[in-house]
Amino acid sequence: MNPREIIDEAVKVLRDGGVILYPTDTVWGIGCDATNEKAVAKVFEIKRRSEAKSLVLLACDLDMVARYIREIPSIAIDLVEVNDAPMTIIYPGAQYLAPNAVAEDGSVGIRIPLVPEDEAGTLRGADFTRELVRRLRKPLVSTSANISGEPTPGNFSEISQEIVSAMDYVVPRSVDSGSTGRPSQIIKLGLGGEVQIIRG
């Protein structure tokens, strides 16, 4: 099965409310349609994680981010344009997302997968992930593929069978060529220009 066929299958499962295991630009993640409350609840259930804890979402570009955030702080545009490493930005004022995908203060963390220049035009790693989100046409939940509290797996071979068995679809590990194996940096922004580094 080629990458485009894999994306076709994954998108079908996501649109049906399913949960998938897939490679991101950082680590392998558990994903679902971030606008589907039941699917998001299933992710929390699989991870045995409290819904009080927020989730990271993936978007394919800033235009997608703008559809789900009431007002994007201007500094976010600069950060995305100059960024050269995976970066999750926590935005205030989330909208049109599943309520359980949003933090109690109404904020949400979103990352645009960073595609290295030497991978442009391929469907590997980050580019595969960005194309998956583009085809879904909605933000994609991206939480690490582990039970809450356990170590984050850096690659597919470290993911527990319990997690794999709970999925509705598992992207073939052959696509795992662009994940860094390390989590992204996290920056929280405020509408007044406030910048808080959560994880550097």
Q: Is the pLDDT of residue 120 over 60?
A: no
Residue 71 tokens read as: 């007002």
Strand intervals (E) in the chain: 20-23, 28-31, 56-58, 87-91, 108-111, 140-141, 143-144, 169-170, 185-189, 195-199
Domain 3-199: which topology? DHBP synthase (3.90.870)
13-40 pLDDT per residue, tens = 999 999 999 988 888 999 999 999 999 9
70 within 8 A of 95, measured Cβ to Cβ: yes
71-111 pLDDT per residue, tens = 888 888 888 877 777 889 999 999 999 999 999 999 999 99
Q: Is the pTM of this model over 0.75?
A: yes
pLDDT at 83: 74
As a whole number, mean pLDDT of residues 147-175 equals 90
pLDDT at 26: 84
